[in-house]
């Protein structure tokens, strides 16, 4: 059977930085990514990032993907593109499909960095063609140059909803409205302001009730909601749209976590069902780590830092001990804590308290 010292599943920001960190510390690493191009969701993100320079602020996502990919060109790293990991079995065997061919491998350490998928919400006709995830449309437009439709309703005013709406405008698509069930806009106001300057209404306390159409979307019925998110009768109105985009959050792609038997908990602050982990991001299954959106739904910058923590921790645990590995690990932990500091990080901090295994919690206190 094939063997690799560290298997990194997922070649997005978390996986790539984990692979690089583990390899720099001395480990042989294999990266598995189901796409032909590394970088995960970064490769469709044409907008500039905010934050500090160390986390690539000011760079466009697609450029960051390039930088991270340059980091995994070391000889110790094997990259398996077009490769889907199928399962991790009880005996540690990882099965995968590489360009359609089945094979298997074992590893000393496994870093699961599979990311997240878009949440679908419940409403009448939500399976009509023309209802998309907003992230999926971002991929369609920015990667493949395909427009989803001509008149769009965006559901959700978080950063993804706001940014994709703006990119739709840039591509010449009419955005009829952005609706948001909460009483306030979830994303950065700088993104919201751009939309407002173009005259796009952002309707808070409003949600979608139904998609209209027989074969495809021909309209959307929206309605005001009260503070408990119940529809307020008599406030329904129909919008003339052919496309409904859902930017209603992400949930961790946790199939492999379930498969490998990591202890999980439902932690809404982190996006849903997610693995319990210690400060090194090691799960309750020894030798299995999580990093990035699969561990908690955050920004690419946090994913990168989590990748460094998981990659260096795994390497150190394997005996690849160096001052640099320790320093990189400590620094990543500090920077991650800094990213999660302040008011905007409160939710994540609350979630992290629930996600830490008992041992770690006692250490924190």
Residues of this chain that interact with another protein (CB under 8 A) are 87, 89-91, 93, 95, 104
**Cβ pair 89, 258 in contact under 8 A:** no
Nearer to another protein, 75 or 91 (CB): 91
Nearer to another protein, 260 or 336 (CB): 260
Nearer to another protein, 1 or 190 (CB): 1
Nearer to another protein, 98 or 350 (CB): 98
How far apart are alpha carbons 162 and 189 in whole angstroms?
A: 9
Task: Name the DSSP class of 348.
Answer: H
User: Least distance (Å) from another protein to the CB of residue 102?
Assistant: 8
User: Least distance (Å) from another protein to the CB of residue 264?
Assistant: 17
Nearer to another protein, 9 or 314 (CB): 9
**Cβ pair 130, 217 in contact under 8 A:** yes
Nearer to another protein, 89 or 229 (CB): 89
How far apart are alpha carbons 16 and 83 in whole angstroms?
A: 15
Which residues 6+ apart lie within 8 Å of 119 measured at CB?
A: 246, 248, 249, 250, 251
Report helix, strand or coil for 80.
strand
How far apart are alpha carbons 43 and 45 in whole angstroms?
A: 6
User: Least distance (Å) from another protein to the CB of residue 93?
Assistant: 5
User: Least distance (Å) from another protein to the CB of residue 261?
Assistant: 9
User: Least distance (Å) from another protein to the CB of residue 268?
Assistant: 23
Nearer to another protein, 92 or 213 (CB): 92
Nearer to another protein, 263 or 327 (CB): 263
User: Least distance (Å) from another protein to the CB of residue 96?
Assistant: 11
Nearer to another protein, 95 or 204 (CB): 95
User: Least distance (Å) from another protein to the CB of residue 298?
Assistant: 31
Nearer to another protein, 104 or 265 (CB): 104
User: Least distance (Å) from another protein to the CB of residue 260?
Assistant: 11
Helix (H) or strand (E) holding 238: strand 237-239
How far apart are alpha carbons 152 and 167 in whole angstroms?
A: 12
Q: Which of 201, 238, 213, 240 is nearest to 223 (CA)?
A: 238
User: Least distance (Å) from another protein to the CB of residue 156?
Assistant: 30
Look at the chain and count its residues. 365
User: Least distance (Å) from another protein to the CB of residue 123?
Assistant: 25
- Token readout for 162 is 């706001």
User: What residue spans of the chain are helical by DSSP H?
Assistant: 13-25, 61-70, 134-144, 159-170, 189-197, 255-260, 300-317, 323-339, 346-355, 358-364
Backbone angles phi, psi at 252, to 5 degrees: -60, 140
Task: Name the DSSP class of 277.
Answer: B
**Cβ pair 169, 141 in contact under 8 A:** no
Q: What is the CA radius of gyration of the chain?
A: 21
Q: Which of 186, 235, 228, 227 is nearest to 208 (CA)?
A: 235
């Amino acid at each position: 059977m094939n063997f690799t010292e560290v298997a990194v599943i997922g070649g997005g920001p978390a996986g790539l930085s984990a692979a690089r960190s583990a390899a720099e510390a001395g480990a042989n690493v294999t990266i598995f990514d189901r796409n032909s191009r590394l970088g995960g969701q970064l490769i469709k993100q044409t907008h500039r990032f905010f934050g500090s320079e160390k986390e690539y602020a000011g760079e466009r996502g697609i450029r960051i993907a390039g930088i991270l990919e340059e980091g995994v060109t070391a000889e110790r790293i094997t990259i398996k593109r077009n490769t889907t990991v199928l399962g991790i079995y009880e005996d540690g065997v990882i099965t995968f499909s590489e360009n359609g061919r089945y094979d298997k491998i074992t590893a000393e350490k496994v870093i699961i960095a599979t990311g997240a998928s878009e949440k679908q919400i419940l409403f009448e006709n939500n399976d009509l063609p023309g209802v998309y995830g907003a992230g999926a449309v971002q991929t369609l437009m920015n990667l493949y140059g395909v427009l989803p439709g001509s008149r769009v309703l965006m559901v959700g005013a978080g950063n993804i909803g706001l940014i994709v709406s703006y990119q739709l405008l840039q591509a010449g698509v009419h955005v009829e409205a952005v609706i948001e069930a909460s009483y306030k806009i979830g994303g950065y106001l700088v993104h919201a302001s751009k939309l407002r300057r173009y005259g796009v209404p952002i309707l808070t306390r409003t949600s979608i009730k139904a998609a209209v159409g027989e074969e495809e979307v021909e309209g959307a019925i929206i309605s005001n909601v009260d503070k408990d998110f119940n529809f307020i009768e008599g406030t329904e109105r129909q919008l003339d749209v052919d496309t409904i985009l859902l930017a209603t959050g992400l949930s961790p792609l946790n199939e492999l976590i379930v498969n490998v038997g990591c202890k999980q908990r439902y932690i809404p602050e982190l996006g849903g069902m997610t693995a319990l982990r210690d400060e090194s991001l090691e799960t309750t299954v020894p030798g299995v780590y999580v990093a990035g959106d699969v561990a908690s739904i955050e920004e690419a910058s946090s994913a990168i830092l989590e990748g460094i923590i998981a990659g260096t921790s795994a390497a150190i645990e394997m005996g690849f001990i160096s001052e640099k590995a320790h320093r990189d690990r400590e620094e990543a932990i500090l920077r991650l804590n800094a990213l999660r500091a302040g008011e905007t990080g409160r939710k994540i901090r609350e979630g992290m308290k629930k996600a830490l295994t008992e041992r770690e919690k006692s250490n924190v206190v």
